[in-house]
A and B are shown apart, each in its own frame.
Chain A
């Protein structure tokens, strides 16, 4: 049982390049989230999904796109990377049944550096 898995774990990009972060979960979570963590800023929500085929904006969505074509996968895309997107990105899943209570299961993180 792998839980929530993020790939890649590390990536270095040049300004203007594009890339996709993949999050895969085998916990049957309905909801999936992408957060970024920056020093002194805590965890900030980028985009999230409450079910297959749905996506919604979080607190800091600009410069990112997401897709949830399959329930178990949630992709985060950067179309034209900027140095301000240097961060550690965390994917999380939650909500298998009943009422949403905020309990999320996180992946190990993906460290992205944009030069």
Chain B
């Protein structure tokens, strides 16, 4: 049973435009939500996170939005750059655990 879902396997966006990556979850008992970025032949790297008590967190070009009633998380990248082309993983940490559960990933391609 996939607790963290990324229903779009891929997304293509023009440079300078906004990229919106989406993530849905089924478990209400998540404490933290995170986004990781992965380039080919490298390990994932932490990008941005949000606590379950907040609904928005911003870091430069990256903003994460959390809608708890809809059990939905999104990552906005503005403006998108070619270097943002990578696979993005949504992840969530359940309350009172030390685990991190990942989604299946969305491949973002930013073209000139």
Partner-B contacts on A (CB < 8 A): 4, 31, 33, 35, 40-45, 48, 50, 58-59, 90, 92, 95, 100-109
Q: How many A-B residue pairs have CB under 8 A?
A: 61
A101 and B89 contact, CB distance less than 8 A? no
B41, B98, B103 pick with most chain A CB within 10 angstroms: B98
B62 at the binding interface (Cβ < 8 Å):
no
Cβ of A64 to closest chain B Cβ, rounded Å: 16
Q: Is B29 an interface residue (CB 8 A)?
A: no
Query: What is the CB-to-nearest-CB distance from A104 to chain B, in angstroms, rounded to a whole number?
Result: 6
A92 interface neighbour in B34, B43, B92, B101, Cβ under 8 Å: B43
Distance in Å from the Cβ of B7 to the closest Cβ of chain A? 12
Question: In angstroms, how far is the closest chain B Cβ from the Cβ of A98?
Answer: 13
- Do A101 and B104 form a contact, CB below 8 Å, given A90-B44, A109-B41? no
For A42, A90, A102, which residue has the most chain B Cβ atoms within 10 angstroms? A102
**B25 / chain A contacts, CB cutoff of 8 Å:** none
